[in-house]
Amino acid sequence: MGSNQKPIVDKSTSSVAAMFNSIAPSYDFLNHLLSLGIDKLWRRRLVKRLLRANPQNVLDVATGTADLALALAKSSPYVKVVGIDISESMLAIGMVKVKKRKLDNRIALKKASALCIPYADNHFNAAMVAFGVRNFEDLSQGLKEICRVLKPGGELAVLEFSMPHHWPFNALYRFYFLKFLPWIGGKVSGNRLAYTYLPESVLTFPQGETFAQILKSCGFNDVEIRGQTFGIATLYIAKKINQ
């Protein structure tokens, strides 16, 4: 593969769901191990920013094992969260965590796709996605669906991996991300393909200002872009245009 040629990534809903069902048992452990725990800091920053507007009713898209939903509910005693995901195995693990922390009165987890969110227009005060938008089979459709179920002026917070640009960190990170991560992820999870998909899906994802323009084309404005930890993740904040 040439250096400028992007990999072809299968983002069909059925393939992504099967992959996450496969790695669900080791997903949390590997997430924290491979990020050296920095992913928890990024989620805290997202939660702190989203809580500025004091939302009461929040949608967590691609909730996975509910780490972000739990972080939000623990940070505010008033917020209620609905988490949706296409992976039943991830949701099952998330529900165990939610019940263990006695937050099942404020966090509900449901199997649903971002491409067809089973809620009425203008239903939620805010929405959030952590490391999930790059897995949408149709990025624009998913963002338009999130916009549809948000109330006018409601905020969307997106946390997603990105590729750092500054040398020499970018070279070191590319080696780690493209070589070491698939190897160790495959060893622990038993599914090397899933941890090859991770860096490939990041490489094909539109980052920074390109993603901001897509958000704007899907009904959002006032897009903030905040790089995290030398650019290996990015936090985007956008508002649904008042209609």
Q: What is the residue-level pLDDT of the chain in tens, covering all 243 positions?
A: 444 445 556 678 888 888 888 888 888 877 777 677 899 999 999 999 999 999 999 999 999 999 999 999 999 999 999 999 999 999 999 999 999 999 999 999 999 999 999 999 999 999 999 999 999 999 999 999 999 999 999 999 999 999 888 888 889 888 888 888 888 888 878 888 878 888 888 889 999 999 999 999 999 999 999 999 999 999 999 999 986
Tell me the one-letter amino acid at 87.
Answer: S
Task: Give the tokens for residue 234.
Answer: 């990015």
CATH number at 134 reads: 3.40.50.150
Asked if the structure places residue 63 within a domain, the reply is yes
Asked if the structure places residue 195 within a domain, the reply is no
Asked if the structure places residue 1 within a domain, the reply is no
**φ, ψ (nearest 5 deg) of residue 114:** -65, -20
Task: Give the tokens for residue 45.
Answer: 């920053």
Please answer whether residues 131 and 105 qualify as being in contact, where contact means their C-beta atoms are separated by less than 8 angstroms.
no
Asked if the structure places residue 46 within a domain, the reply is yes
Asked if the structure places residue 192 within a domain, the reply is no
Asked if the structure places residue 174 within a domain, the reply is no
Q: Which helix (H) or strand (E) holds 85?
A: strand 80-85
d(CA 225, CA 33): 26
How many of the other CB atoms lie within 10 Å of CB of 133?
24
Asked if the structure places residue 201 within a domain, the reply is no
Task: Give the tokens for residue 236.
Answer: 């985007």
What is the span of the domain harbouring residue 235? 13-164+207-240
Residue 1's pLDDT is what?
A: 41
Asked if the structure places residue 202 within a domain, the reply is no
* Domain count along the chain: 1
Exposed, middle or buried: residue 56 (CB in 10 Å: 0-12, 13-18, 19+)? exposed
Tell me the one-letter amino acid at 51.
Answer: L
* C-alpha closest to that of 89 among 119, 114, 118, 109: 109
